[in-house]
Structure 1
Amino acid sequence: MSAHGASGSILKQPKAVWAVAFASVISFMGIGLVDPILPAIAESLQATPTETEMLFTAYLAVTGVAMLFTSWVSSRIGVKKTLLVGLVLIVVFAAAAGLSNNVEAIIGFRAGWGLGNAFFISTALATIVDSAKGGRAAAIILYEAALGLGIAAGPLIGAALGNISWRGPFFGTASLMAVAFIAIVAFLPKTDDSKLEPTRLSAPFKALAQPTLLALALAALFYNIGFFVLLAYSPFVLGFDVWGLGLTFFGWGLALAITSVFLAPVLTARMRRSRVLWIALPLLAVVLVLCGVFWNDPTMLVVLIVAGGLVLGVLNTVLTECVMGATDLPRVVASGAYSAVRFIGGAIAPPAATEIAREFGADAPYFAAAVSVAIAAVIVIACAKPLARADVDEEELDDVDEAEAVLLGDAA
């Protein structure tokens, strides 16, 4: 059973942690920022829904692939430089997307944006976990709070800027990321790069050979399909204007933020993390089935989208906690390997959803997403033995490691 005794210290963090957390908020805004303007981009640039959904796919696919190599880069140039490289790439490609005049160019620049995001996200998570006070659990809650706040604010800011022009959210992201760059430069201490231990290129692939991490990554792949069908496909079904979509997904993101910070720790304090996943994944599948049933009732669909956010917040936090405790590998390696597989699901889902809708009807993508999330639940339940390590608390794991070291010493 998880213990979260460090919760009281979550706000007492070094300036460096707050700087990275702030930059993380801005980074995660980029996910939801374009959500309210998807229909507007499709209309303005005469793009099909599937072409417009490629804005998500290009971003997430490149993010996922690049994350396999972020640990190799950061172990050679240092954490601070890796974060700054990521932020610069996001600023450049977000601004370039805003200057584009066709959907193909925006897709390409979103891919470059995804490259920057890969350098930033996995390194930011490892930095917060390694630097935050109060233990791993408190650090992950802080990271998930940044994620939730960013995802919640993104659609609202996207709506405000998108109401002026569909280009606005892109320029807004570039500007905010420039501020984040300054914050990292000012508050994150310079690391001693002479003490860096270079990571092999093969490290993330070898990490995925570990049963615990592989099970979590595969479960997250199928879970992420449900996540991004809800986020990226729903705007086309709802048919709202930019403000309607912005407010809907603000509610979704706010629900996600609240449960990731407040409900997830309560649940994991009372039961094992894997058991929380056993409950939350089927519950998300039920929400997606109901979305398919009520797809043509906008009011009911909005309620279900927000309800989905409540479940997603729990899942995000618990999965991240599991990954950070799943192996003895450096956290940036574990995070990068897990995220690379996870983002494949996010990359597949948006265009697949619009194509499924075209072939089988507007409700079909939600049912397909529900099946995908159910597969994630089956993986988690079937892999109960490998996931036992992810259920162990940080303090318990230290005791286990010490005991193993004593036993190995005695054997020697």
Structure 2
Amino acid sequence: MQLFWFLPTHGDSRYLGTSRGARTVSHRYLRQVAQAADELGYEGVLIPTGRSCEDSWVVASSLAAQTERLKFLVAIRPGIISPTVSARQAATLDRFSEGRLLINVVTGGDPDEQHGDGSFLTHAERYEVTDEFLRIWRGVAAGETVNFSGKHLRVENAKTLYPPVQKPYPPLWFGGSSDAAIALAGEQADVYLTWGEPPADVADKIAKARAAAAKHGRTLRFGIRLHVIVRETSEAAWRAADELISYVTDDTIAAAQKAFSRFDSVGQQRMAALHGGRRDRLEVSPNLWAGVGLVRGGAGTALVGSPEEVAARIKEYAALGVETFIFSGYPHLEEAYRVAELLFPLLPLDHVRPAGHANITGPFGEVIANDIVPPSSQDVQVAQVPVREKAAA
């Protein structure tokens, strides 16, 4: 199992749908989040893309030198950039980061944003372009000289002179819920990525993607994108979920849902259908909460609960075939620590854990009375303090 974190290049906050508690996302802040994820032992970070975000390639390039092991899942946008130029960019960043680049193929889902970037393709045409784009991109990135003439794209003598570190190229991740998306993933992607839907729905998508890959004699790996609200008790976690949207007004929800309705993304439509814009139907599956999707596009669900509850839900998805979990939480710096501290010890992670989880090599916890090093968290039992003593303390 691999756990990724998220770089909030579109902004960060303690609350959704309001400027209260908002943070300016500077390069210095993103560096803090990335370095925290690196030191805590996350496998990598997802960097979002779109006009509401800082440019993902510039962000990844600037942070690769500021981290040691962290991988960067960075978007390419077929139909917006040349496949040959994109392949050369990927090869350069993969070399400069010493093999820490992952590629997130994003076809786009907001027609208004697509039009602003000069793309007026329909949903079906975007997948046609993506198919042609990836055929060129994969060949060039693998060191081939590519000549290709398709319905939308044409290249002659397309190549790169400097190869990537990873062979044949940095892994391709692909998300999408439409039939066209799943068919494309089965033929050309390495990892199929879904947003956090109820387990039965995720199982159905995984089965379809596996079947699509099998038609080409291929296999896929699977990932899921979720928010996490984990606290030491279930009650505290659900309070935190309520607090996250405590400043969201009905007018804000209505405006957000109206904006999302223009999207032709099937995945976005599925996210919206989970809650229907209503506050009274947000727990859409045990410990799966759709409150984030009231005002946030894209991934709109969160796992909510105690460490044991959230870990159990994660393992349910893992049993379906999900290997990689891309998590986030508001605010992202503090929640990176909280998730690592509460969940990492309960999960079968296959990447490097921070040294402090295995042994004490320096200050760990708060030394008691200058003499006593506290025991590891696994050996500690919570003292049962009478209510009056708690109040007096």
TM-score scaled to structure 1, two decimals?
0.26
TM-score scaled to structure 2, two decimals?
0.27
Instruction: Select the structure that is richer in helix.
Output: 1
Larger Rg: 2
Q: Which structure is higher in RCO with an 8 Å CA cutoff and minimum separation 6?
A: 1
Instruction: Select the structure that is richer in strand.
Output: 2
